Amino acid sequence: MIAGIDHFVLTVGSVEDTCAFYQRVLGFKRLDEPGRPTALLFGTQKINVHEAGHTFEPKAKAPTPGSADFCLVAARPLAEICASLAANGVAIEVGPVERIGARGPMMSVYFRDPDGNLVEISWYNR
């Protein structure tokens, strides 16, 4: 019945800080359209970014900055992700470590964004 994920929403303390982080560190593209939430585009997905106190309807019951924990699949080897994190002063909390993802074995690194959300980036052994 379900084919994949189109987007998810992050509630953040600052849209500007969050977008700058994801653009600089992971190469996401920012999209601003009148009357719509700011979006961060990557691959064929996006993250809608809502600033706390300025969210869009409908929304989560208790949207809170720093409460997300999600995994993204890398388009490039994990070593390149680690290099980008290091170059941008982002500390890796865990990894690289082996995990089992939706498609099988993968290697992952974990770090935090400006709001403290836990971001996992994974590379499938192809």
Give the range of the structural domain holding residue 80, as residue numbers without chain letter.
7-124
Tokens 């900055």 map to which residue?
A: 65
Active site residue 57: no
Q: Is residue 1 part of a domain?
A: no
Q: Is 86 exposed, middle or buried (0-12, 13-18, 19+ CB in 10 A)?
A: exposed
Q: What is the pLDDT of residues 73-120, one digit of tens each?
A: 999 999 999 999 999 999 999 989 999 999 999 999 999 999 999 999
The one catalytic residue in 16, 51, 57, 120 is: 120
CATH of the domain at 84: 3.10.180.10
Q: How many residues does the chain have?
A: 126
Q: What is the pLDDT of residues 44-73, one digit of tens each?
A: 999 999 998 877 777 778 888 999 999 999
Neighbours of 2 (CB within 10 A): 4
Q: Is residue 36 part of a domain?
A: yes
Q: How confident is the model at residue 27 (pLDDT cuts 50, 70, 90)?
A: very high
Residue 57: the pLDDT is 74
Q: Is residue 107 part of a domain?
A: yes
CB 18 within 8 A of CB 12: yes
pLDDT exceeds cutoff 80 at 2: no
3-state secondary structure of 83: helix
Residue 126: the pLDDT is 63
Q: Is residue 2 part of a domain?
A: no
Count Cβ neighbours within 10 Å for each residue of 38-68 and write b for 16 or more, e otherwise. bbbeeeeebbbbbbeeeeeeeeeeebebbeb
Q: How many domains does the structure of the chain reveal?
A: 1
Residue 56: the pLDDT is 72
In terms of Cα–Cα distance, which of 103, 88, 95 is closest to 120?
Answer: 95
3-state secondary structure of 51: strand
